[in-house]
């Protein structure tokens, strides 16, 4: 068993630290915003941008309405003729089914496109951004 005389305490003074002491510092809160919109695909515009490149975008929720839609983050792949064949038997990208009531989450800030083979098809988008 040790006693108080077995060691001598050392006084410590913290000159700088990246750790807040005792909750004295408050971290800056990030501002979050949402922006909803709908993109309508038609026979004259069967391929459209649904998400522009945006580094402040945390994620987006997308959902198809009217008819099934194919989405892709490659402009070359979304313009593939297979994405404009009725019934989408061989899509190049991810199919958003118009009967699906759960939105699809797309993380990050990349640019995304949508294509449809039957019209009018809608893509409803909810963008979540942080400053």
State the 10-residue block means of pLDDT for the chain, 131 residues long: 69 72 66 95 97 96 97 97 95 95 96 97 97 83
Distance, CA of 100 to CA of 82 (rounded, Å): 22
Classify residue 77 by its DSSP letter. H
- Sheet of 112-116: strands edge to edge? 47-51, 112-116, 69-72, 94-96
- CB atoms under 10 Å from CB of 63, counted, come to 19
Length of the chain in terms of residues written: 131
So what's the pLDDT on residue 3? 60
DSSP three-state, residue 82: helix
Domain ranges, ordered by start, for the chain: 30-130
| Residues contacting residue 51 through CB under 8 Å, at least 6 positions apart | 57, 60, 62, 106, 110, 111, 112, 125, 127
Fold (topology level) of 30-130:
Jelly Rolls (2.60.120)
């Amino acid at each position: 068993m040790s006693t108080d005389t077995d060691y001598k305490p050392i006084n410590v003074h913290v000159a700088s630290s990246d750790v807040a002491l005792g909750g004295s510092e408050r971290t800056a809160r990030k501002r979050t915003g949402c922006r909803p919109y709908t993109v309508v695909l038609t026979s004259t515009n069967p391929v459209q941008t649904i998400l522009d490149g945006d580094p402040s975008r945390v994620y987006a929720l997308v959902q198809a309405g009217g008819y099934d839609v194919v989405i892709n983050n490659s402009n070359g792949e979304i313009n593939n003729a297979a994405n404009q064949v009725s019934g989408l038997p061989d899509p190049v990208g991810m199919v958003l089914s118009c009967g699906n009531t759960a939105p699809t989450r797309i993380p990050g800030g990349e640019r995304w496109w949508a294509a449809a083979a039957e019209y009018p098809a809608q893509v409803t988008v909810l963008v979540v951004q942080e400053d």
